[in-house]
Amino acid sequence: MLMRLSLRLRVFLIFAGLAAAVIVATVAGLWLGYSRLDTPGATQGFVQAGVLAGFAALGLVAGVWYLFDLNVAKPIETLAGALRARAHSDVTAEMDSAIARYLGDLAPAAQAAAQSLSETRSALAEAVARETLRLGSEKARLEALLSDVPAGVILCSADHALVFYNSPAADVIGAGRGDGLEAGLDRKLFDYLHAAPLRHAYDRLLATADPDAVSDLLCTTVAGARVLAARMRLLGEGAAGYVLTLRDITGDMATEARREAMLAEALDSLRRPTAALATLVEVLPEGALPLPMQGALKEEIARLSQAVTRFGTARDEGQGEATALPQTRASDLAEGLAARLASLGIKAGAEAADLLLRCNGFEIITLLAALAQKVQAGGQVADMHLAIEEEATGAAIRLSWQGGRVGVGALDRWLAEPLSPDTPDHPARSVLVAHATEIWPEPVGGGRAALCLPIRQARRAVARPKPVARKVVYDFELLSPARTDKLAEAQLDRLTYVVFDSETTGLNPRQGDEIVQLAAVRIVNGRRVEGEVFDTLVNPGRPIPLVSTEVHGITDAMVADAPGVADVARRFHKFAEGAVLIAHNAPFDMEFLRRVEGQIGLTFDMPVLDTVLLSAVVYGQHEVHSLDALTHRLGISIPEEARHTAIGDTIATADAFLKLVPMLAGRGHATFGAVLAEVRKHGRLLKDLN
């Protein structure tokens, strides 16, 4: 209740209570004195004294209250109002400190706080304006870059509405339209492209729950029936939308189809006469030709037959290599086909080996679903089943059923029909051509029949390796002419750094210890570039001691196929070229690198900074400067599984360095030369540490 009252009213109530307490105390004291006096005639005197004392107390309390209200409570409220005006409104006028001249240092402190707030607000407004201008400039540059990208790029929301598109994308999806429906924001992608392959790819990417997964697919435009090669990638975890890159391959496919038709015709025109000649020579009667001539004819026909066979094999291999097909998990393909058949009213079981198939899953599912419909419509069919099994270097997809076999003629007719109503110009056989394969009927036994579709390339699925970060990496500040070549005068946050760390077989390179892992990251213009990482295992050319393996977890088996020390050092030198090297306890890591300079013909003469010494400059030599202690002080957490791995320690060191830079600048060491002069005072630390 009292908290809702104003400060001045609460002060008044305090003084009113004080006055009432004084009057009560005065009356109580007079009454106590009168009761002990036991003189009836003294009543009048005690009453008069009580009245005078009461009025005097009231006057005194009222006077003190007035002075307190005038010089304390009222100035505090005025000061609070002035501060609130500067906190919540754009008031920049200097605050009058005289309004609270009797409040000691409160008024100057409030004035300083208000001034600091005003300066901070102005600095923030300038920074926001500057950053807005920079972002606007970068946005314009990115738009210019994206507009020049030859491939079409489309960004779609989770409900397949257009969020972004560039000029090539607008040209591709709008080609052949005569209805005036050009590409436009917030329009459905399916107004321009047929939905089925896109929905299939999107659902599969969502099912993988892998933000780095991509799906390659073929799709066609609604108008003009143009064939597009597309790549889809989710924008993030969950149904957050996706980015689609498009390339028109209609002309390429037509050219490829004509080439394949010409090669097939040429091969057929050679294969049949060659077989006929071979048969004719075999049935020639004795003496029809001289024996030498007959032998020579047989040899030439055999050579011709071998040449035709080699030509056919080379065509098949070239056909398989010409088409870049995505990897599809066999279980996904089996489940997808079972779901597609269920939607068509056909119940089918499915089983698949743990394989990764090199195929377009959508096209294979569409083809097999169409053939399953034909089989179902052709007679009494029961117990349809799909099986995907490993065979040699590939796999075999078998769609089997209980019932009659499919004839070769009927299968050829089905393959000549369009794959789907959306693609009338593309027969079902085009899927087989794209995958360089065939499909044929075969008996299974037990009254069952099947269609067998081999996939040329497949491999067993293994644990997925760590995904490679695929990012758009840019820093337009590098275009600024303000960059200086004078290293000593350069600002710390304007230099390019390579932060690195190594894991080794031991702690003494002079006794033959070698690097077993080397990792590095780049820092450009004050930020760590996520996509620029150097991380590799190294074959040390000697056994790794068990005591070292217990620290970093790297075994001899892990580095058996890794590159050697010299090769890795050469690659790392190129990665670090033109940058300042940074490491925690740098002399230890640098000695391993400098030992191989003679082998690779290069010198690691880059400038070097050590975060041990930088920590000493900031915190003083009395502190502990281990990597764990430094990261703990800076609030950087190193996951347990990343500690004592080269890449984990490298990232921690880089993050620590980025936090040390502004702290060094705050101590007056903002340039590389100033920091270098300061760290030389702490060189003894490294000698003690090593």
pLDDT, position 303: 76
Residue 227, pLDDT > 60, answer: yes
Longest CA span, the chain? 177
Provide the CA 218 distance to its chain's centre, in angstroms.
25
Does some domain include residue 469? no
259 and 236: one domain?
no
Closest Cα partner for 394 from 430, 429, 358? 358
Residue 408, pLDDT > 80, answer: yes
265 confidence band (pLDDT: 50, 70, 90):
low
Query: Out of 137-146, 276-285, 379-388, 591-600, which region has the weakest mean confidence (pLDDT)?
Result: 276-285
CATH code of 500's domain: 3.30.420.10
| Cβ within 8 Å of residue 131, ≥6 positions away | none
280 confidence band (pLDDT: 50, 70, 90):
low
282 and 207: one domain?
no
Does some domain include residue 474? no
321 confidence band (pLDDT: 50, 70, 90):
very low
Does some domain include residue 233? yes
Task: Give the HSE-up count for residue 447: Cα atoms under 13 Å, Cβ half-sphere.
Answer: 6
471 confidence band (pLDDT: 50, 70, 90):
very low
Q: Which residue has the higher pLDDT, 459 or 4?
A: 459
| Cβ within 8 Å of residue 87, ≥6 positions away | 117
Does some domain include residue 334? yes
Question: What number is the average pLDDT over the span 477-494?
Answer: 65
Using DSSP's 3-state secondary structure scheme, residue 385 falls into strand
Residue 162, pLDDT > 50, answer: yes
Query: Out of 27-36, 276-285, 600-609, 653-662, which region has the weakest mean confidence (pLDDT)?
Result: 276-285
Residue 251, both tokens: 């002309």
113 and 213: one domain?
no
Residue 484, both tokens: 């200086």
Residue 482, pLDDT > 60, answer: no
Residue 349, both tokens: 């079981």
CATH code of 373's domain: 3.30.565.10
Q: Contact, 351 vs 399, CB < 8 A?
A: no
Beta partners for residue 244, in sequence order:
154, 232
- Give the alpha-carbon dihedral of 651, 656, 660, 662, to 10 degrees: 60
505 confidence band (pLDDT: 50, 70, 90):
very high
Distances (CA, A) of 121 to 89, 110, 124, 125, 134: 11, 16, 5, 6, 19
Residue 253, pLDDT > 80, answer: no
Residue 386, both tokens: 């799909």
- Write down the pTM of the prediction: 0.45
- What is the bridge-based pairing of β-strands 496-504 and 580-583? parallel
Does some domain include residue 380? yes
What is the span of the domain harbouring residue 522? 484-689
360 and 400: one domain?
yes
Question: What number is the average pLDDT over the span 475-488?
Answer: 54
The C-alpha atoms of residue 427 and residue 626 are separated, in whole angstroms, by: 68
Distances (CA, A) of 630 to 10, 663, 683: 51, 13, 18
The beta strands (E) that lie in 619-684 are given as none
Question: What number is the average pLDDT over the span 264-282?
Answer: 67
Question: What number is the average pLDDT over the span 388-413?
Answer: 86
624 and 569: one domain?
yes
Closest Cα partner for 322 from 433, 172, 429, 246? 433
Domain count, the chain: 5
- Of 304, 322, 340, the domain-final residue: 322
Residue 169, both tokens: 């994308």
The C-alpha atoms of residue 583 and residue 457 are separated, in whole angstroms, by: 45
The C-alpha atoms of residue 398 and residue 174 are separated, in whole angstroms, by: 40
The C-alpha atoms of residue 234 and residue 243 are separated, in whole angstroms, by: 6
| Cβ within 8 Å of residue 613, ≥6 positions away | 679, 682, 683, 685, 686
pLDDT, position 275: 66
449 and 556: one domain?
no
The C-alpha atoms of residue 374 and residue 684 are separated, in whole angstroms, by: 84
669 and 682: one domain?
yes
- What is the bridge-based pairing of β-strands 327-329 and 242-248? unpaired
Instruction: Tell me the pLDDT tens digit for each residue of 418-437.
Output: 877 766 767 888 888 878 78
Q: Which of 70-79, 462-471, 497-506 has the largest mean confidence?
A: 497-506
Question: What number is the average pLDDT over the span 54-68?
Answer: 81
Does some domain include residue 467? no
274 and 309: one domain?
yes
Residue 319, pLDDT > 60, answer: no
Residue 584, pLDDT > 80, answer: yes
- 232 φ/ψ angles, rounded to the nearest 5 degrees: -115, 135
pLDDT, position 523: 93
522 confidence band (pLDDT: 50, 70, 90):
very high
- Of 396, 428, 460, the domain-final residue: 460
338 and 271: one domain?
no
32 and 14: one domain?
yes
Q: Contact, 335 vs 365, CB < 8 A?
A: no
Does some domain include residue 473? no
**Could you say which of 88, 435, 644, 682 is catalytic?**
644
pLDDT, position 466: 45
Residue 71, pLDDT > 70, answer: yes
Share above pLDDT 70 across residues of the chain, in percent, rounded to a whole number = 76
Q: Which residue has the higher pLDDT, 246 or 295?
A: 246
pLDDT, position 276: 65
Does some domain include residue 595? yes
290 and 344: one domain?
no
Q: Contact, 230 vs 217, CB < 8 A?
A: yes
Query: Out of 275-284, 331-340, 341-350, 385-394, which region has the weakest mean confidence (pLDDT)?
Result: 275-284
468 confidence band (pLDDT: 50, 70, 90):
very low
Which residue has tokens 């409900």? Answer: 159
Q: Contact, 536 vs 561, CB < 8 A?
A: no
Query: How would you classify residue 653: left for phi > 0, otherwise alpha for psi between -120 and 50, otherwise beta?
Result: alpha
Q: What is the DSSP letter of 72?
A: I
CATH code of 169's domain: 3.30.450.20
pLDDT, position 566: 94
pLDDT, position 534: 93
What secondary structure does DSSP assign to 154-197, as a single string?
EEE-TT-BEEEE-HHHHHHHHTT--S-----TTSBGGGTB-HHH
490 and 581: one domain?
yes
| Cβ within 8 Å of residue 192, ≥6 positions away | 173, 174, 177, 181, 183, 221, 222, 223
Beta partners for residue 399, in sequence order:
386, 451
Q: Contact, 650 vs 499, CB < 8 A?
A: yes
Residue 160 appears among annotated catalytic residues? no
- Of 322, 338, 356, the domain-final residue: 322
Task: Give the HSE-up count for residue 271: Cα atoms under 13 Å, Cβ half-sphere.
Answer: 11
Residue 231 host element (H or E) = strand 227-234
Instruction: Tell me the pLDDT tens digit for each residue of 87-127.
Output: 655 656 676 667 677 777 677 777 777 777 777 878 888 88
Q: Which of 196-210, 326-340, 514-528, 626-640 has the largest mean confidence?
A: 514-528
Compute the mean pLDDT over every residue in the chain, rounded to the nearest whole number: 78
Instruction: Tell me the pLDDT tens digit for each residue of 322-344.
Output: 455 677 778 878 887 887 888 88
Residue 476, pLDDT > 60, answer: no
| Cβ within 8 Å of residue 664, ≥6 positions away | 492, 614, 617, 618, 670, 675
